[in-house]
Structure 1
Amino acid sequence: MTDSARAARRRSIDVAALLSARTSRRRALIVSGVVIGLLAAIVVAWAVIVRPSADPAIAVPSTSPTSTQPTMLFQVKSAEGLALDSALLSTGGPSGRANVIMIPSTMALDVATGGTMPFGEIARLPDLAVTADALSDAIGVTIDATVALDTLGLSALVDAVGGVVVDVDVPVMATATDGTDTVLIPVGSGQLLQGPAAAAFATYLAPDEADSARSTRFRAVLERITTQLPSDRTKVEAIFTGLGASAKASVSTGEVADFFVGLRAAVLSDDIAYRSLLVTSIDTGGSTSNPAMLSLDNVAAAAMVAELLPGAMRTPGANSQVRVFVENGVGSPGLNTAARTALVDAGFTFVNGRNAPSFDHETTEIVIPDAGAAARAWGQAIAMALKVPATSVRVASVGQSVADVIVVLGADFIPPAA
């Protein structure tokens, strides 16, 4: 083993020890925070009882006209182009804290080109921007850059930082061409994985596991890579440039390097939050070979964005279309799809709210955020696009952050004939 290899190995082990110690501290804080959380819950519950008109799940976000919080969608793809791992990363912003938000590959999102697809499947489309655009439309965040590696690229990135030390929670299996399964990586804590093994670990999903299990492994590898990158921006740029065709980015390698230097500093100073985008299950009778689809929890996502990504929130304007959250208030199949076509054709961004709590809506409701001229113009344009009366437009009685405008389709919305 060369001196540089020994140094890289020591660095990997030192970083793993540092991150492990931080994890232990976080767990201790979580335990102590449970008591505080219970007390806070009592206070919140009392406030809700005495103030029934307030909606604690929806808040009016504070936004700025341009993104002040750099964001990056970072993905690892299979040989077939499927996004196995995805994370939305951010640095800076009002709090100065970095964020890593894991994105489930089986979450269904609307695609601007038409239809709904699992997030991981969208990555197969030839345009690199389509995946980021679908996520941006769904959660209302400006995504400044997209970086997509294949598994060889992830392997090379791990090797460039000297390997990563991770806790392997399940045996990582490899299937030979003859169908024989062998253990590629055994269970064990504090294992130093070089490139190919680390890539296999980060993208591995055991039988009957939820997608979140793979996301957790990917997060561990990504965290180790980030901390072990050089502090020198030029050296980081050289590493990403060296990935060659195994890496595709929507921005220059210099911009990728700048972002990761900032992210590295945040991780090393423990000024970072780790979350997963909240979803709900869509019962499709799925199995391991045909996994159940997931649907974005729009209200929870809006709250997460307001908390973690306020500087990256999209605001309506020439470069950021108005987002319209649509619910089916009648129950007729295909109603939201028809509304989507009408709204997208009119220049709006469609956010699928699926079914309303009830199906007794005789008339369509178009709820705008305020009584300002701009909001009223949105409402009138949406009413025209849906061919419903202008009287359908009303001003929200409480703040709404799930989208710019909320529409509940009623029986007066008649889908165009196929």
Structure 2
Amino acid sequence: MASAITTLAADAPTLSAANTGFMLICSALVMLMTPGLAFFYGGMVRVKSSLNMLMMSFISLGIVTILWVLYGFSLAFGTDSGSLIGWNSDYVGLSGIGITELWDGYTIPVYVFAVFQLMFAVITPALISGALADRVKFGAWVLFTGLWVTIVYFPVAHWVWGAGGWLFELGVIDFAGGTAVHINAGAAALGVILVIGKRVGFKKDPMRPHSLPLVMLGAGLLWFGWFGFNAGSWLGNDDGVGAVMFVNTQVATAAAMLAWLGYEKLRHGSFTTLGAASGAVAGLVAITPAGGAVSPLGAIAVGAIAGVLCAMAVGLKYKFGYDDSLDVVGVHLVGGVAGSLLVGLFATGGVQSDVAGLFYGGGLEQLGKQAIGVFAVLAYSLVVSAGLAFLLDKTIGMRVTEDVEVAGIDQVEHAETAYDFSGAGGGAASRNTAAPTPSAASKKVDA
């Protein structure tokens, strides 16, 4: 008996300084993705609503952080209750956690896991905001964000990643958030826009991006931060799986960008910077659930398929008449669905687990599990998000007035504008603010 106890003690995980440092760096990279998303979205809207778009992403860093500490971590990763939600009183306020207490058999502290997962919770509602550009009251958005993460994100994160969560126990593979983050956010975006309606001038007025350099900067920051998002989700790299995920993230993103641009050239005759940025994001989205299960060749396939599907999907809003301002549905929902389902085809059975997809002799079983995960999260998020938006719209009102929307939401909601042109280029404005001439100045002194 003594020898068995000694063996168990020897096998117990111990804190790894290397993995802990790696995960802290990954957490910082994922945090950077939210400001990157703000730039990405902010450049895609018109000048008059660019600050509002930036703020709708940035505010998530404040709201979700506080809720995560108070109860979000406990709901998402506490002890399972009925396979639907978690709870652990020690996690409330993160007050009952020892500073060296390790996370559930891993070699990193609970605090490190909590802060890493916090950054996922932060960016998910921010993703939704791109579908609602130009027309939502900022105060209503703040309230929606707090309610949405509580009612939708925290439970879904438990389903997918929490020990005992029903999708986790079913065997759904979601390495870093295809269902919990991207399908969740994309379905929520669709639900909300169906409630609040279209922008003034949708399909009539030009609504071109005001700053494509900002879009490219945002896409670059997202791509950079996504390495922490994906590779960090293995919670260490002692067995090389995180390294495979890192490689697959780069490979799939490159393939998706090229595929989107190829489709765009064939369909519209041009290679656009917006297409390059959007294609890269589509690839990042699609490889997020799949990258730990596929080979680099499989990652090329996942990225290329997602790039074409998402490029095709962004035009559906004009066909079906829903106003998804910045293509959250077309990129995040469609890309998340594609990446999650493609696990069932391209999983090799030799990376994160021995589960193989259809093309590697695994049959249709895993594809079926992936489909259950995809459509369960999609349906739940769509219905609950639409209901939440409807409730807020009928009480405090979700939309600004038409006059505010036409004039520009930045000035009314934030009392600011993104750019100050008053001193540029001469004209009446610059003449009115110019320094007095010497003669005028001398006259004032004489007076």
Give the TM-score normalised by structure 2: 0.23
Which has the bigger relative contact order, CA under 8 A and spacing at least 6? 2
Give the TM-score normalised by structure 1: 0.24
User: Where is the helix percentage greater, Structure 1 or Structure 2?
Assistant: 2
